[in-house]
Amino acid sequence: MPMTREEFNSAVTDILGNLSDAGHVSQKLDELRTAFNDEVSDKESKAVQVTELENQKKSLQEANMQLFLKIGSPAPETKEDDTKPDTGAADAPTFDSLFGEDGNLKSD
């Protein structure tokens, strides 16, 4: 278990207060050395994990880009109204323009 900041400060204070007791100082210094080595080892293993994860991320990004380039972007959706030809409703003849007042078809 890593040593906390409070534990480290307590050990240093204990060493400074007991400089005349060589056995006690040696024991505390050994605890500090062990804790330091544990922290360095932990940091090195975390650095390796970070490097591996960054490599995996880069590999996944490259694979995604290859898939995107292979598939391409999705085609825009066409609406049903867009597929029907324009009948020109504005130019369509009206009833009055086709039939006269007597109801018969006009001949133009």
Q: Does the pTM of the predicted model rise above 0.95?
A: no
What is the C-alpha to C-alpha distance for residues 28 and 8, in angstroms, rounded to an integer? 10
Least confident piece of the model among 35-44, 57-66, 88-97? 88-97
Backbone dihedral angles phi then psi of residue 99, each to the nearest 5 degrees: -120, 145
Q: At 10, is the pLDDT very low, low, confident or very high (cuts 50, 70, 90)?
A: very high
Average pLDDT across the chain, whole number: 85
Backbone dihedral angles phi then psi of residue 22, each to the nearest 5 degrees: -65, -40
Please say whether the beta carbons of 18 and 25 come within 8 A.
Answer: yes
Once rounded to an integer, what is the mean pLDDT over residues 53-57? 97
What is the C-alpha to C-alpha distance for residues 39 and 21, in angstroms, rounded to an integer? 27
Closest C-alpha to 108, from 87, 36, 98: 98
What is the C-alpha to C-alpha distance for residues 2 and 14, in angstroms, rounded to an integer? 19
